Structure 1
Amino acid sequence: MTQKRILLIISGGIAAYKSLELIRELRRRDIACRCIVTKGGQEFVTPLSVSALSGDKVYTELFNLSDEAEMGHIELSRSADLVVACPATADLMAKAAGGLANDLASTTLLATDKPVLMVPAMNVRMWQHPATMRNIETLRADGVTVMEPDEGAMACGEFGPGRLPEIPAIVAEIERMLAGENAGALSGTHALVTAGPTREPLDPVRFLSNHSSGKQGYAIAEALARLGAQVTLVSGPVSLPAPRGVNLVPVETARQMLKACEDALPTDVFVSVAAVADWRPARAATKKLKIKGAGSEHPSMELTENPDILKTLANKRKNRPSLVIGFAAETHDVEEHAVAKLKRKNCDWIVANDVSGDVMGGTENEIALISRDGSERWPRMGKDEVARRLALKIAETVGDEGDGLKLAAE
């Protein structure tokens, strides 16, 4: 799987500063950005800041001898998988709709043979002007994808549609377009994903839990949905918004999570990412536990095992998911423990990850994908890219096996 590349055109408008955040988010997902900054765009962001974040040269002029010698505007327009104009001003969209080519950005848009995404941002009156509406209609008829702007307060003080969409929404649309032919690869597939920690109450105000942020599970659920899967996400308590196009089922305890998973069956794919608490108090106190004072004995508590959700679903005689994928979060001997877990739990795959660093709260992961056929190491990358690759791997398995997943464990 080669790295995806976009050509990002940053045009003039106050929303141009948000393009820096967009570049950072795309880089986190292992999507490379090469950028064009228009003359107007340079009034809001500098080529130096764009270059520092993108890690690539920034292009600004059509008639630049060294740029034309090194790349050339024709090659620049075709060097990426997708061309994105963000923000797309009324002026840039008017040029593109009319086929004008009097600067590097408009020439690139006219010369490209790649898909184009326009992300508009402008004053509400400009957005609603009949000329802008005609231009958008023309662009869409020409095959350009034009996102709808958000509605809200403007920098100019007015209120209405015209705000740049939120960065997560833009990233999701870019990833959808980059998926291309894979966009419907999991259509007709039901995927069940668990994410986050569980909380096991000690008393009405305290609980046993762990540091899981839920980021990896949420990213996997969203990546599967982008490939067309119907996704049920059973999540412990996290501070993350529900992924788009995903049925979110919030739970607290391990027993609640198991019930929610069993209620979601039958399912084709089960990805067990949640960091489920292994133990819970045998009897949770009905009143807050109190410290009795200095010199008193430390309170004791009897613990009992929680249900093993992964093992339970992997060993079902009826409605066993065709593909069962577990996660093994380890601090040492990662692959050895993962291989043992694969056999012990009767999984088809295990995603082994080293959590000795900041993985459980961080944005990156380094994993090994373990199956009965061996292991496959992936380099350290953002959790969103791990999710994308895993979703594609699942889609490849579905496609290779045709109708249904016929795996060795069945």
Structure 2
Amino acid sequence: MASSSSSTLLSTVIPPAPVFFYKLRSPHVRFASLRHWYSRSEQTLEASEARLLSRLAFFTIGGKTVNSPENSKTLARVGLVDLDGDGMRKINTLVIDQKGNDFDIDKDGSIDETLNYEQLGFTEIPQTDLKIQSNTTTVDEEKNPSIKNLVMCHGFGGGLGFFYRNYHGLSQVPGWRIYSIDWLGMGRSSRPQFIIKGKSVDEYVQETENFFIESFEKWRKIHKIDKMTLLGHSLGGYLAAVYAIKYPMHVEKLILVSPVGVPRNPQNDPRYFKDGGRKIPGWIVKLWNAHLTPQLILRWLGPFGPSLVTKYTAHKFSHLEEIDQLDLHDYLYHISTAAGSGEFAITRILEPGAYARKPLIDRLYEIQMPTTFLYGEDDWMDYRAAEEAKDLMRVFVKIERVPKAGHHLYLDNPTEFNRLVIKEMLEGSINN
């Protein structure tokens, strides 16, 4: 339960989600939608992210909530890290440091199988204010070489807020610091103009990849992270793999969560699917090649955009509590309607049908670190592509499937997702 003082503070610092989402069937929906569209800003985007992160049980001792970060076991801060010193390119970053841990770990380093992972997920009720530092331009984490780093990267159209059900459990692993970022041009990070000059497929794919991985590399240097376990979901998994290929010296382990872009297009490689794949309608191909994105459509829709997001999130996240659905609606709408930037990468990197123009299966043999693939059992991303890639890779590879989960397996089944990621973190600690 949240204390009354922390609840009051939370309601003051983080305003509630717009009334539109609480009255989905109200006759005043159109007016509320118009108001929500008109009032959106960087401040309302920040608030929508904070509402998700404020659920985390960061400030707890012995299971009791405290209101003072000075007395907490876990310290978390979120803010914008300036890449160049001129304020033009900033990457939104969540950093979580753990002063203690709740784990019972066996002598061989394995997790106590009797541990109740439900307790390591998240609290359904916001417990206390999460310190927001929107103008953060300096990095002040203690540089301890014994601390290991887990860096988490979201997928296309997402943001670091999507991992809100995972941060607390992952942050309890002793000796680890958790980072989570919004890719440049996505989430709450800066939205620089996305300009690609390359004409050939190889040229514009490489330029697009560099837009993300070179800014990520600069972010790494600012944080002075020498080694990391790198976790990426969907498009974030694709970009994490590309980064690990180019900068293998900084990645100890790679965790690819339902990564996009692994298989070849079945129409180009009919061995993968016997029927050669489903043919994409010509009009979709034309719109795709014209770089039309879902976010662009939402911005075009103006005041009608929120209702479209509501339909999407109500379908995708119907298993969540109503308050979670509402806050995810608000967060997704805000990060989707911010200025267009990184979203335009999707049509450069992928062909219609979500197949990579330069499939990872033809590049993963260059990976130099242990790699784990995680998929949901009901995932639309096909795990068989990872099985084929495993046979071509020259490193230790594992493929795990999370039960009762789809493409957003970290949201669908956070308990099992956390368990598998923690297992990888601990195995990495043992091996090193």
Relative to the length of structure 1, the TM-score reads 0.35
Decide which structure has greater helix share.
2
TM-score, normalised on structure 2?
0.34
Pick the structure with more strand per residue.
1
Q: Larger relative contact order (C-alpha < 8 A, sep ≥ 6)?
A: 2
Which is higher, the Rg of structure 1 or of structure 2?
1
